[in-house]
C-alpha cells in the first residue's frame, strides 16, 4: 500500500515536472514569436509612434481647427476599436470637436454610447466630422454649438442634450481657452475673464444643471492639465483654471459619492491640439512642442481616449476624486 502510494506520488510529480518544462518551453517559444495584435493593441515603440519636433511654424485664429493643423492630430479616427464598455450610455462632451474631447467622443461612440458635443460655432467643420464618425458607429450624435461663457446657454445645453439623448449619465467638461501671454502686464481683464468663464464658470453651470438628472452610476469627468502642477510663466491665467479644475474634481467627488456619482479628472501633458496653434503657444515653443518630455514628443488626443473611457465605465466604479495623468513621462499626477 505504501509502495503504491510512493509510486503514484512519484508519477504525479514526474507529470508535473513534464508539464512545467512544457509550459516553460511554450513560453520560450511564444517569446520568440512576434505578437499578433490588431487595432489600438498593436505593440510598438511609444517614442516613435507619432511625430516629433521640430514642427512647422503655423498659426490659426482662435479657436482653431484640427483639420487645418500640420501634422493633423490623431483622435483615434482609424485606430480606436470599441468593446461595448459604454453600451447605451448617454454623454455630453464640451469641446467635442477636437483634441481630447473629440477623442473621447469617438471612443465613447465606439464603446456603444450616444454622444452630444458642444463646440464654438466657428468649429463647425471639425464638429461635423465628429458627428459623422459617431453616426457611423450606429450611435446618436448631437451637435450643440454655442458660447459657454453664458450661463443661460450652459443651462440650455444640458436640457437640449437630455432631450436629444433621452437622458444623461456622462458629463465631460473639456472645453478650455488657452492664450499665452509673456507678461501679466500684457494680460487684459477681458482675456482673463474669458478664460475664467470658459474654464471655471462653464463646468460649474453645466454640472449644476445636469446634476438633478444624473442617476446613480453616472460619471463626471473634468480635463485638468500638467499646468495645475507645474505652471508655465506665459500661462498664468490658464494654469490657475487647471489647478481649480483639479480641486473641484476632488471636492465634488466627496460631495457626490453618497449619491453614487463619480467625479474624476484627466491631466494631459503637451498634447497636439488646436489650442497650440491658435495662440496657446508661441511660435518658438510650437516648433519644439513636446520635445522636452522624456518621450521627446507631444502626445496625441487618441492616446488619452481610453482614459476617458475608463473613468466613465462601470468597471472603474471605485475610482472617484482621482486625477489621471498622461504626460509622456513628465507631469505629477
**pLDDT tens-digit profile of 174-195?**
999 999 999 999 999 999 999 9
pLDDT of residue 41: 65
CA-wise closest residue to 80 among 133, 140, 135: 133
- With vertex at residue 134, the alpha carbon angle to CA 175 and CA 58, rounded to the nearest 5 degrees, is 50
Q: pLDDT of the chain along its 333 residues, tens only? A: 444 444 344 444 444 343 433 333 333 333 333 333 445 567 999 999 999 999 999 999 999 999 999 999 999 999 999 999 999 999 999 999 999 999 999 999 999 999 999 999 999 999 999 999 999 999 999 999 999 999 999 999 999 999 999 999 999 999 999 999 999 999 999 999 999 999 999 999 999 999 999 999 999 999 999 999 999 999 999 999 999 999 999 999 999 999 999 999 999 999 999 999 999 999 999 999 999 999 999 999 999 999 999 999 999 999 999 999 999 998 787
Q: Which of 228, 233, 135 is nearest to 182 (CA)?
A: 233
Question: 81-326 has which CATH code?
Answer: 3.40.50.720
In this predicted model, what pLDDT tens digit does every residue of 257-282 receive, in sequence order?
999 999 999 999 999 999 999 999 99
According to DSSP, residue 288 is labeled T
CA gap 230, 228 in Å, rounded: 6
What are 16-59's pLDDT values in tens digits?
343 433 333 333 333 333 333 445 567 999 999 999 999 999 99
On whether the pTM is more than 0.75, the answer is: yes
CB-side exposure of 310: number of CA atoms within 13 Å?
Answer: 15
Angle formed at CA 144 by CA 140 and CA 150, multiple of 5 degrees = 150
Q: Which residues are catalytic?
A: 238
Amino acid at each position: 500500500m505504501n509502495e503504491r502510494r510512493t509510486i503514484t506520488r512519484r508519477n504525479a510529480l514526474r507529470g508535473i515536472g513534464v508539464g512545467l518544462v512544457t509550459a516553460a518551453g511554450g513560453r520560450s517559444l511564444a517569446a520568440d514569436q512576434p505578437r499578433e495584435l490588431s487595432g489600438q493593441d498593436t505593440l510598438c515603440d511609444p517614442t516613435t509612434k507619432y511625430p516629433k519636433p521640430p514642427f512647422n511654424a503655423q498659426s490659426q485664429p482662435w479657436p482653431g481647427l484640427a483639420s487645418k493643423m500640420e501634422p493633423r492630430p490623431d483622435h483615434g479616427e482609424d485606430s480606436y476599436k470599441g468593446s461595448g464598455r459604454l453600451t447605451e450610455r448617454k454623454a455630453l462632451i464640451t469641446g467635442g470637436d477636437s483634441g481630447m474631447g473629440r477623442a473621447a467622443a469617438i471612443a465613447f461612440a465606439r464603446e456603444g454610447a450616444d454622444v452630444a458635443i458642444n463646440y464654438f460655432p466657428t468649429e463647425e467643420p471639425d464638429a461635423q466630422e465628429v458627428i459623422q464618425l459617431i453616426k457611423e458607429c450606429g450611435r446618436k450624435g448631437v451637435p450643440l454649438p454655442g458660447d459657454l461663457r453664458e450661463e443661460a446657454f450652459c443651462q440650455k445645453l444640458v436640457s437640449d442634450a437630455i432631450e436629444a439623448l433621452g437622458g444623461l449619465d456622462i458629463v465631460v467638461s473639456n472645453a478650455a481657452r488657452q492664450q499665452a501671454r509673456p507678461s501679466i502686464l500684457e494680460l487684459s481683464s477681458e482675456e482673463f475673464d474669458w478664460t475664467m468663464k470658459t474654464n471655471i464658470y462653464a463646468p460649474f453651470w453645466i454640472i449644476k444643471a445636469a446634476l438633478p438628472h444624473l442617476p446613480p452610476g453616472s460619471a463626471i469627468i473634468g480635463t485638468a492639465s500638467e499646468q495645475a502642477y507645474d505652471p508655465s510663466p506665459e500661462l498664468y491665467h490658464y494654469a490657475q483654471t487647471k489647478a481649480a479644475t483639479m480641486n473641484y474634481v476632488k471636492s465634488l467627488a466627496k460631495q457626490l459619492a453618497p449619491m453614487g456619482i463619480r467625479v474624476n479628472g484627466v491631466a494631459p501633458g503637451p498634447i497636439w491640439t488646436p489650442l497650440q496653434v491658435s495662440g496657446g503657444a508661441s511660435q518658438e515653443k510650437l516648433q519644439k512642442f513636446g520635445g522636452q518630455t522624456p518621450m521627446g514628443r507631444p502626445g496625441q488626443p487618441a492616446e488619452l481616449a481610453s482614459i476617458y473611457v475608463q473613468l466613465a465605465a462601470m468597471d472603474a466604479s471605485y475610482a472617484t476624486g482621482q486625477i489621471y495623468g498622461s504626460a509622456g513621462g513628465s507631469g505629477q499626477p
